[in-house]
Amino acid sequence: MSIQVGPYQLNSIALLAPMAGTSDKPFRMLCKSLGAGLTTSEMVVIQAHLLNTNKSKYRLDFKGETAPISIQIAGSEAQELAHSAQKAVEFGADIIDINMGCPAKKVCNKASGSALMQDEVLVKNILESVVSAVNIPVTLKMRTGWDADNKNAPTIAQIAEQAGIQMLSVHGRTKADKYNGMAEYDTIKSVVNQVNIPVIANGDIISAKKAQQVLDYTNASGVMIGRAAQGNPWIFSEINHYLNTKEISDLIPLEEKKTTILKHIQQIYDFYGDFLGLRLARKHILWYATHLDKNHMQQFWQTVNKITNREQQFTLFENYLNQL
């Protein structure tokens, strides 16, 4: 099972969602090693006055990653996004992903992210401008619509295909939903029926069986995994195994998981340095502890969250894992 995006054949149809604060370089490389067919960067706004910030430095570092490298750009104006796409190519992008899926206020207040879906003329201008600005595939991440009364994803999907977009990822919630309630897949199914380019279903896909159910219902070309990968990057290999064999994969040995987890935490330190690495590792430690030991992790978390020394943090977490 594969997906074709321009010249790139994705050998797994389980993709990692771009997530601010999560899909950084260490996590992308981890998920790809565990079977993700494509990993996309955290959302970036590539403007001259932002390029020298630490956030941009880390978000635009793709050294050592395997192709295709997908960079997600955000913005509110066609020419601004076209320029961002060109700069992203300079930073190593093989695929440009346009963000029209983020419901966060700090994105939507700038009329970007999912807020763009209100203005279909602007959407058309943006997509056409970005596609014409670069010679690599452009993809689009969006929601089902603005709110429950304005689910215009099928219309935007048609606009996108006509503009030259080569893959669509649709989160089964509206902008107004944020992350509340349950994702719905009827609109995604409608999008699939409207276009002839790959459509990726996203939202509440938390297991291999759920992935199969969503694929069967929507006829989507693939699934995109977001929050379900936090603390459980093995979900990609589980989905791949189930889709290929229709059988649940054997449980990954705990010792193997421990090794993978500690390697990931070390890579966070190495990438960000001691000060920032320690702070960014905390959420991953929480997610891993929740995944492995949901009933007893609260006391451990209260202790590890107070630590301000990298070596102490790592040793405490290692000892915690060894007690499982």
Pairs from 148-156 (Cβ < 8 Å, separation ≥ 24): 148/174, 148/176, 148/177, 150/118, 150/174, 151/187, 152/117, 152/120, 153/117, 153/187, 153/188, 153/190, 153/191, 154/187, 154/190, 154/191, 154/193, 154/194, 155/120, 156/100, 156/117, 156/120, 156/123
Report d(CA 52, CA 50) in Å as an integer.
6
Whether 102 is catalytic is yes
Catalytic residue among 60, 81, 95, 102: 102
Residue 107 neighbours by CB under 8 Å, 6+ apart: 43, 74, 99, 113, 114, 115
Residue 244: burial class (beta carbons within 10 Å; 0-12, 13-18, 19+): exposed
SS3 3: strand
Backbone angles phi, psi at 168, to 5 degrees: -120, 135
Residue 55 CA from chain centroid, whole number: 17
Handedness of CA 169, 110, 88, 125 (dihedral sign): positive
- The shares of helix, strand and coil residues in the chain, as percent rounded to the nearest 5, are 50, 15, 40
The residues annotated with a catalytic role in the active site are 102
